[in-house]
Amino acid sequence: MLRRVHPTVLGAQMNRLILLAVCILLGYTVFAKECSNDEFGSFCETKAAVLRLLSYPIYTGSDKLVLNHAGDMAALAVIRSVSVKDLNSPEKARQILLALNLAFAAPQLITPDSNRRPTAAILLLDHMEKEYCGQEKCNEVENIRSEIEHNTTTGTPFDVVTLNGEPPPDMEHAQWVGSVLRWTAEIKPGSTRNDLLKIYTTEGGLSTPLRRTYVLKGCPYIKVDVEFKPVGRPERDGEGRVTGIEDGRDIITKISQPYLGYGVYD
């Protein structure tokens, strides 16, 4: 049985889709020139920073600086860089929200002034809210929306409130660590070795194919200890020894919380 949709609701949904489509077309036409063209160099830098952020949990200081100057250009770069399928993917939601957060975190740095108006950013957030509302990411969408609206309206970022005599928190480093922890939360028992290797890499020291310490790519001081269940082979050979093969399909049975430690080198 078909459910009737009220014309007002249907019209609002159509308007959002049309506006998002216009932004997508804008991203493909206005910035369609080559990166060697000086007029569009800043967009190409922004797009490169967005692509790194969408593919990997760590962002560099230079990426942060590029995005701080980008404003709404970062939202257009997201639209230009992400397929419609990925745009609707929960796996990409956190990276997109982080990119938008960095893009409007320092409104006084955004150039030119036209990029201070979060037109494309709000449309992206509207789309994400429609996709994820009712899930825990919905609160994240609303938090980013509130911060962007505050920063672009007042021209200043949120004030950090501290008690008298209390040192102010290092918000930049806290945001960086937070982005890492959100990524590491995606790896859990039931994930595969291949899933783990998207974010971590192996460390030296004593290990076996089914029990090993991994370090975060880009920051070897952040570690996890992982145990696996072998796939496609027995856990031990005929003499009772752990098989020396590592397979990307191996299933994680146990993973520790991320912890800090000095590097171990063979």
For residues 199 and 235, the model is more confident at 199
Contact 120, 75 (CB under 8 A): yes
Cα–Cα separations (whole angstroms), residue 18 to 8, 73, 101, 127:
15, 19, 24, 11
Among the ranges 15-29, 156-170, 197-211, which has the highest mean pLDDT value?
197-211
Task: Compute the residue count for the chain.
Answer: 266
Q: What is the rounded radius of gyration, in angstroms, for the C-alpha atoms of the chain?
A: 22
Q: Report the SS3 class of residue 169.
A: coil
Rounded distance, CA 72 to CA 74, Å? 5
Whether pLDDT at 57 is above 70: no
How far is Cα 27 from Cα 152, in angstroms, rounded to an integer? 21
Predicted confidence (pLDDT) at residue 104 exceeds the cutoff of 90: yes
Q: How far apart are CA 197 and CA 176, in angstroms?
A: 20
Q: What is the distance between the alpha carbons of residues 18 and 226, in angstroms, rounded to a whole number?
A: 46
Highest mean pLDDT among 16-20, 64-68, 228-232 belongs to 64-68
Closest CA to 223 of 265, 180, 257: 257
Helices (DSSP H) in 1-136: which residue ranges?
Answer: 7-29, 41-55, 61-70, 72-81, 84-87, 90-103, 119-132
Show me where the domains of the chain are located: 7-154, 187-260
The pTM score is 0.64
Q: Residue 53, Cβ neighbours under 10 Å: how many? A: 25
Q: What is the mean pLDDT of residues 94-107?
A: 89
If one compares 168 and 6, the residue with the highest pLDDT of the two is 168
